[in-house]
Amino acid sequence: MEEERKLMEEEFVLQAIKKLRKDPFRGIHSVYSGFNEAFRKYFGTNPVEATTRLAAEGKIETRPFKGGAMIFLPGEAPKRPSAEEIIQLVLGPGSPSLSEEEFVLEAIKKLRRDPYKGIHSVFSGFNEAFRKHFNKDPVELTSRMASAGKVEIIPLKSGKGVMLYIPGESPKGKKTDEALKKILG
């Protein structure tokens, strides 16, 4: 019996994207699709190193995503607006000047996607756009705004970025309601 030909890393990744993706999605999640474990089992090496290299070579595209990364065929990844495009979106027509705090609140309103009420500080492009426009650290300002009750921040378990909300719009868990009920009688 002839030994089956082993796929090269690039062939494996491209085939995985084509065969593991589910309509209407164009890409696969590196972890949730089973790709990472399948890659490790087949090659005995780290899939992150391979996909990072293939992305740098333009053979695939990747996007950071909660719990891992999304992997796409070239040209099929969603286009990310540049920091400049995000700044223009937040400022609106005629490019009015906004204070730093006004910029944060407008960014939350204009960058969030239904049904979500908040934005991810990193993945939405907010942090990068804020740094570029004001040449300041957005974390410092949003932390001060949260302390003053001007925004609500929910830290993420991943440790990468936070969710930013307009006051009163962040999700409240059952424990919040139960605690309020107990405190207020």
Region of 80 on the Ramachandran plot (φ > 0 left; ψ -120 to 50 alpha; else beta): beta
Q: What is the pLDDT of residues 49-104, one digit of tens each?
A: 999 999 999 999 998 777 788 999 999 988 878 889 999 989 988 767 899 999 99
Residue located via tokens 């239904």: 114
Token pair for residue 58? 């333009």
Class for the domain spanning 83-175: mainly alpha
| pTM value > 0.85 | no
CB-based burial label for 87 (10 Å; 0-12, 13-18, 19+): buried
Could you report the per-residue pLDDT of 102-133, keeping only the tens digit for each? 999 999 999 998 888 999 898 888 999 999 99
Domain boundaries, the chain: 9-72, 83-175
Calpha distance 151→172 (Å, rounded): 15
9-72 has which CATH code?
1.10.10
